DNA sequence: CCGAATCGTAATAATCGAAGTTACATGAAA
DNA sequence: TTTCATGTAACTTCGATTATTACGATTCGG
């Protein structure tokens, strides 16, 4: 299956918005991310429903961040997106009768659960503010390289 | 994305084969796993190329394990299957110009790399022999429940 | 030798979810 | 009232696994 890149997308959009005064339109975000405004609205709509951003219609409208960058974690965003499946590998049959398959499933499920726990734990420790700071560092380094 | 269930499949097949004397046909494995013989051959073919099993054509043919159950790990099987993508979540663009996106990618890549390392480490510690033993335990418990 | 059993493999279809597109309605501002 | 912008449904496209069909190649038994 095609990978779910919405987490990456909303992070990109949120940081972009954080760098700007005033609302950003779906059209702008779509151009910047090489995608379609409707896709932006669909995904950002989930963040709006969670209260992380607000949208305004009509002239001068667009999207704005309502959350504290220090408080929003990657884990929270993952949850807001509906906790999509993390792994592209899984069991052939989730509820097998066969004891052989049950043993295999149990072993794999254990390993995946542990890796998922680690990933989510890391996600819960990364805030938007940290990503913004990391971007500032890269930006400064880039300008230094240019000068 | 549809999940890749080949690791689960080959484990099931290998344990099934380990419990049996003599070769097992693709047809038998396919019935047991509710799939198609051609799918079995495609997947088992990778294990054959890696020397883990042998296949014999013609009447009385089929598949047999050639590897030591104590030596074969889940990680080895994962590699044999071509190291398919582990995650169903990823970056929107793997080689972005935009520094914002580069920062996002770096943070996500780090977290995923760490989770992947943990998963592969666990995989490298689980052998076919251990899964077989786990099956034996379940089988014994099941018979006790029946008696 | 012949014929059934079995694997080997290419080519094609079915499937499933994310992403993209089109279309139109709704609401806000100039 | 015209224009800008979101809201959303419906549909298409895309990407990856899995399933199916078809046929060739090999091995065993009689
Ligand atoms: S060994 Fe496959 S169904 Fe039990
Ligand atoms: S912020 Fe999106 S392309 Fe740079």
Are B108 and A8 in contact (CB < 8 Å)? yes
Compute the average pLDDT of residues A123-145.
94
Distance CA A27, CA A35 (A): 9
List of residues 6+ apart from B39 with CB closer than 8 A:
B30
Crossing angle of helices A99-124 and B128-146, in 10° steps, is 120
Q: Of A6 and B96, which is predicted with more confidence? A: A6
Model confidence over B47-99: pLDDT tens digits?
999 999 999 999 999 999 999 999 999 999 999 999 999 999 999 999 888 89
Q: What is the DSSP string of A98-144?
A: SHHHHHHHHHHHHHHHHHHHHHHHHHHT-BHHHHHHHHHHHHHHHHH
**Residue B32 alpha carbon to ligand 1 centre in Å:** 5
Interatomic distance B79 CA / D14 C1' (Å): 27
To which residue do tokens 């899984």 refer? A90
> If DSSP codes are grouped into helix, strand and coil, which group holds residue A113?
helix
Q: Decide if A15 contacts B105 (C-beta within 8 A).
A: no
DSSP code, position A72: -
3-state helix, strand, coil in chain B (%, to 5): 60, 10, 30
In sequence order, the β-bridge partners of residue A62 are A56
Q: Give the pLDDT of residue A96.
A: 84
CA distance B32 to A140: 60
For residues A14 and A65, give the distance between their C-alpha atoms in angstroms, rounded to a whole number: 7
Domain boundaries, given as residue ranges, for chain B: 6-143
Nearest alpha carbon, ligand 2 atom 2: A32
What the block records as the tokens of B15 is: 């344990």
Contacts of A134 (CB under 8 A, 6+ apart): B103, B106, B107
A-B Cβ pairs (cutoff 8 Å, strict): 169
Region A122-131 average pLDDT: 97
Nearest to B109 by CA among A11, A18, A146: A11
Beta-carbon contacts of A138 under 8 Å, excluding residues fewer than 6 positions away, are B99, B102, B103
Protein residue whose Cα sits closest to atom 4 of ligand 2: B98
Could you tell me if the CB of A98 is within 6 A of ligand 1? Answer: yes
Which ligand has an atom closest to residue B34 CA? 1
Ligand nearest to the CA of B40: 1
Q: Which helix (H) or strand (E) holds B15?
A: helix B6-18
User: Tokens 């590699």 sit at which residue?
Assistant: B79
pLDDT per position as a tens digit, A9-64: 999 999 999 989 899 999 999 999 999 999 999 999 999 999 999 999 999 999 99
Structure tokens at B22: 């003599």
Q: Is A97 in the pocket of ligand 1 (CB under 6 A)?
A: no
* CA-wise closest residue to A115 among B123, B80, B94: B123
Any idea which fold A6-143 has? Arc Repressor Mutant, subunit A (1.10.10)
Cβ of residue A138 closer than 8 Å to a chain B Cβ: yes
């Amino acid at each position: 299956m095609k990978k779910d890149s919405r987490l990456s997308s909303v992070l990109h959009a949120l940081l972009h918005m954080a760098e700007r005064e005033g609302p950003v339109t779906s059209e702008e975000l779509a151009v910047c991310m090489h995608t379609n405004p409707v896709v932006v609205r669909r995904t950002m709509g989930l963040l709006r429903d969670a209260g992380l951003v607000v949208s305004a219609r009509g002239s001068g409208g667009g999207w704005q961040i309502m959350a504290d960058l220090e408080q929003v974690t990657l884990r929270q965003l993952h949850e807001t997106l509906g906790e999509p499946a993390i792994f592209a590998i899984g069991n052939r049959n989730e509820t097998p009768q066969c004891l052989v398959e049950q043993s295999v499933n149990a072993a794999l499920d254990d390993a995946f659960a542990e890796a998922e726990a680690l990933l989510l734990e890391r996600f819960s420790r990364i805030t938007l503010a940290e990503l913004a700071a990391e971007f500032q560092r890269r930006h400064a380094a880039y300008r230094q390289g240019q000068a």
